[in-house]
Amino acid sequence: METQVNSLSDPDVNQSPVEMTENAFDHLDELRKWALVIALGGFVGTVVLFICGISMLIVPNSTPAAGFIHLMSGGYLFVAFISAVPMWFLWKAARHARKTVKLKLSSELETTFKNLKYHYICLGIFSLLSLITIIATVIAAVMSGLLTSIMQSPTV
Q: What is the pLDDT of residues 117-128, one digit of tens each?
A: 999 999 999 999
Q: Residue 145 contacts by C-beta under 8 Å, 6 or more apart in sequence?
A: none
DSSP string, 79-124: HHHHHHHHHHHHHHHHHHHHHHHHH--HHHHHHHHHHHHHHHHHHH
Q: pLDDT-based confidence at 4, cuts 50/70/90?
A: very low
DSSP helix/strand/coil, 6: coil
Q: Where are the domains of the chain?
A: 22-152
Burial tier of 45 (Cβ tally within 10 Å: 0-12, 13-18, 19+): middle
The model's pTM is 0.77
Give the model confidence (pLDDT) of 16-59 as tens digits. Answer: 677 889 999 999 999 999 999 999 999 999 999 999 999 988 87
Q: What is the pLDDT of residue 151?
A: 86
